[in-house]
């Protein structure tokens, strides 16, 4: 069964750091781009970052550039998001997502269940 | 940066209605557009990819069309299970994927 499972969310103070993880199973993780997408409470979806199959290319939405770092460990079938200098506006459910077939031209056919990040003092 | 808009933002409809949602891109994205359905408390699920291709297991009452800057998602006959929020997403370039603001479909 194809599965993405996020972890690492929680409560953090403004200016703090958090590292999210996404464990992948059931597909050839090392062959596909991976993304993080977030959704603030009651708001819409916002793409945050993505990373190429081998980790050589990474892209970010402007609002997180310089603060967030996406990475992956293909040997562990895992995706990460290191979040530093967190702000109140970063509070959201964070999803990892991917085209796990290679046939959808990078539309996201698989999403994790999400992990909640709360930024508050 | 490519901006995405959707209309309407909210749509009230009845079971059996034909429903159309429009998504517009601020610049040409060819056919690199996907549609997702999201229900409260759940992750989104893929409906349509590359503007008009049905995702796996998606009912045939869903269809997508368009190219360039204007796209539509149509539900031919609205069912109970279709009351949800729908998002379009452009993926024209790896360097920036953008979602539309969403369209909520609720019961009239």
Report pLDDT digits (tens) over A49-92.
Answer: 999 999 999 999 999 999 999 999 999 999 999 999 999 999 99
* Contact status, residue B15 vs residue B79, Cβ threshold 8 Å: yes
Question: Euclidean distance between the first and final Cα of chain A, in Å?
Answer: 40
Contact at CB, B100 and A35, closer than 8 angstroms: no
Exposure string for B2-23, b = 16+ CB within 10 A, e = fewer? bebebeeeebebeeeeebebbb
The closest CB to that of A44, out of B1, B32, B99, belongs to B99
Comparing CA positions, the residue from A51, A34, A52 lying closest to residue A95 is A34
Comparing CA positions, the residue from B75, B27, B36, B70 lying closest to residue B55 is B36
Percent of chain A with pLDDT over 90: 95
Enumerate the β-bridge partners of residue B12. B106
pLDDT per position as a tens digit, A20-59: 999 999 999 999 999 999 999 999 999 999 999 999 999 9
Asked if B50 reaches chain A (Cβ–Cβ under 8 Å), the answer is yes
Other Cβ atoms within 10 Å of A64 Cβ, number:
21
Helix (H, G, I), strand (E, B) or coil at A27: coil
């Amino acid at each position: 069964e194809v599965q993405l499972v996020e972890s690492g969310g929680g409560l953090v103070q403004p200016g703090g750091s958090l590292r999210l993880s996404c464990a992948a199973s059931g597909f050839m993780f090392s062959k596909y781009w991976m993304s993080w997408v977030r959704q603030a409470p009651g708001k819409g979806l916002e793409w945050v970052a993505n990373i190429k199959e081998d980790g050589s290319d990474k892209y970010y939405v402007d609002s997180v550039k310089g603060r967030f770092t996406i990475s992956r460990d293909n040997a562990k079938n895992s995706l990460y998001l290191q979040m530093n200098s967190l702000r109140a506006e970063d509070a959201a459910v964070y999803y990892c997502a991917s085209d796990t077939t290679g046939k959808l031209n990078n539309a996201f056919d698989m999403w994790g269940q999400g992990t909640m990040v709360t930024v508050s003092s | 940066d490519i901006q995405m808009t959707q209309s309407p933002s909210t749509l009230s409809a009845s079971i059996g209605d034909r429903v159309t949602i429009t998504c517009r891109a601020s610049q040409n994205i060819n056919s690199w557009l996907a549609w997702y359905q999201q229900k409260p408390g759940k992750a989104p699920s893929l409906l349509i990819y590359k503007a008009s291709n049905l995702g796996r297991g998606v009912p045939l009452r869903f269809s997508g069309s368009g190219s360039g800057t204007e796209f539509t998602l149509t539900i031919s006959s609205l069912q109970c299970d279709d009351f949800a929020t729908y998002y379009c997403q452009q993926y024209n370039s790896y360097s920036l994927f953008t979602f539309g603001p969403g369209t909520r479909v609720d019961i009239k």
